[in-house]
Structure 1
Amino acid sequence: MEKVSSAKDRLLKSGQDWLGGEFRGKALVILCAVIMISATIAITIFLGTKGLQSFIKDGISLIEFITSKTWNPTDKANPKYGTLPFIFGSFAVTFLSALVAAPLGIGGAIFMTEISSSWGRKILQPVIELLVGIPSVVYGFIGLSVLVPFIRENIGGLGFSLLSGTIVLSIMILPTVTSIATDAMGSLPGALREGSFALGATRWQTIKKVLIPAAMPSLLTAIVLGMARAFGEALAVQMVIGNVKNLPSSLLDASATLTTIITLNMGHTTYGSVENNTLWSMGLILLVMSFAFILLIRYLSARRKL
């Protein structure tokens, strides 16, 4: 009886310990989730409040703010707060860098998973990890000291241009696109390949007609994630793009983005001034675009069938 009683006591104690551990673990996870949600809501409210002050408090027209080409906030007689050149610059370098990085990243993923999976990963994977670990300022400094003079001497223009920003951003987002695309291609069921080969398709026909269409939602997600990073990048682009207030007419013209103008001017404005509030409004535009990228990613993820 004593042995049975002691066994019951041990079982009861272990159950209590398990329940206590489960409760603590669940409470910790919930706390982390609450902190993340609260931080996101707080940032959104703060940035929304600050960003809307230039339209509500200072009376700046939203339409003029987005569509005007003139940015001259220091003119006391007739200040202008047009951000169209910066919005255009942000979207231009983002989409152009995606056009460069997407085929390279997807091609590298196909090489590592379908062409030479044995030694392909041994070569490309360390290179990708190395690119991920390089700070943004290093990309910008290399672009400033190598890329800008090369473009100036061999292609034309001043070297500080949309082309320079596009090349630097393409290299920066390439690891993101490649890593996600590699995971997408590697997670495809082997039955797809086997079925295609059984029908007489070649390896290239299988990749083009079967594997890429099957992984397309995930591949598009990789591209959008790379674009999201490119859209918010500031320091590396700031060092090579030129940071002018004019709307560029070609890839060799200098330009500016929302992030570069914010970082250049935020430290030189008075908190609460009209110019300071317009910079917060640019930050609000960046936040809205980040939400748009996230919604697009969620939509593409929902389309996955495999």
Structure 2
Amino acid sequence: MEEIQKKLAEHSGKSRLEKIGKTISFLCIAFIVFVVLSILYFVASKGISTFTKDGVSLWNFLTGTVWNPSSLGENGEPLTGALPMIAGSFIVTLLAAAVATPFAIGAAIFMTEISPTVGKKILQPVIELLVGIPSVVYGFIGLSVVVPFMRNTFGGSGFGIISAAIVLFVMILPTVTSMSVDTLKSVPRYYREASLALGATRWQTIYKVVLRSATPGLLTAVVFGMARAFGEALAVQMVIGNAALMPTSLITPASTLTSILTMNMGNTVMGTLQNDVLWSLALILLVMALFFNILTRWIGKKGAMN
């Protein structure tokens, strides 16, 4: 009888601890959700006020090519054309992802399929080291190495989209590579064994079996790298030139959404038009971040279905 009572007491104690644990977990999750919703509401309310309070046309904001919120155009509307920054952000991101993807996938294939020992002992520590380097260090290296190289090779100031794309390429390469390695490792071993048993060579197995099976994960890695490149601020600001002009060449100064934000946010007064349009740029960044997250989830679901 005493043993039964002890077991009941222990069970009730465990149930009490489980309830306390569930309550703490729920409160933590609720707090995180509250913080995220608060950030979304704050940025959205500030960004939308440009069009509701200040009377700026959304179409002119997205398609205009002149950025000078302190001046008025011929129609009496402030010159708040954000197209140069939007185009600059997309061009830099796409260039960096286009260059980083083949290098990342090639390194991942080498580390998992060709020489796992060398990859684990040498390449993996190097990649982890690159991930931990602060973005300001990348920007300073780009300012000291990439910009002078571009200036001496192509002329001009050396600042521009291509310089920013090179810096972002180095920054997102370790992220895409590490995610690609994890994806290739997740491909079942019997896929490789079955392919080799049917007479396929190692390269045929890698190309036609491993890579095709890992395609959803590789696409997720690329999208994740693009998301990081799109939101990078300090390193890009240091090498792109920060000229709010439509990009006419890859070697002329340009700007991105993040570079304009980091340069001007501390120089404006809260509630003014000059401040509101910066929050509108931040809202575009937030929408793009949500888009990248949704795209990543969609790719993951499609891969799971296949």
Range into which the TM-score falls when normalised by the shorter chain? over 0.9
Match of 2:213 in 1: 214
Aligned-residue offset at 1:76: 5.8
The aligned amino acid for 2:184 is M
Paired with 2:26 and 2:114, the residues of 1 have a C-alpha distance of: 44
Q: TM-score, normalised by structure 2?
A: 0.96
For residue 161 of structure 1, what is the aligned residue in structure 2? Answer: 160
SS at match of 1:143: helix
Q: Secondary structure at the match of 1:80?
A: strand
Q: Note the 1:158-197 alignment, pairs <5 A.
A: 158-197=157-196
CA deviations over 1:94-134 (Å, ceiling 9, x no partner): 11100011111111111111011122121111111111110
Please name the residue that 1:300 is paired with: 299
- Report which stretch shifted further, 291-300 or 149-158: 149-158
2:10 pairs with 1:14: yes
Specify the code of the residue in structure 2 equivalent to 1:145. S
In structure 1, C-alpha distance between the alignment counterparts of 2:106 and 2:81, rounded to whole Å: 40
Higher mean C-alpha displacement, 148-157 vs 47-56: 148-157
1:1-306 maps to which residues of 2 (within 5 A)?
5-75=1-71, 79-305=78-304
Query: Structure 1 length as normaliser, TM-score?
Result: 0.96
Question: Unaligned stretches of 5+ in structure 2?
Answer: none
> Would you say how many aligned residue pairs link Structure 1 and Structure 2?
302
Aligned partners of 1:181 and 1:21: how far apart in 2? 40
Identity %: 53
CA distance in 1, matches of 2:103, 2:11: 55
Using the alignment, how far apart are the partners of 1:21 and 1:175 within structure 2? 42
* 1:156 positional shift: 2.6
Contact map agreement 2:72 2:79 (CA 8 A) in 1: no
Query: Structure 1 residues 84-93 or 117-126, which shifts more?
Result: 117-126
Moved over 3 A (4+): 76-79
TM superposition shift of 1:145: 1.0
Aligned-pair RMSD on alpha carbons?
A: 1.2
Q: Using the alignment, how far apart are the partners of 2:258 and 2:69 within structure 1?
A: 17
Structure 1: where are the runs of 5+ without partners?
none
Instruction: Give, in angstroms, the shift of residue 289 of structure 1.
Output: 0.7
CA distance in 2, matches of 1:250, 1:239: 18
Distance 1:32 1:104 in 2: 40
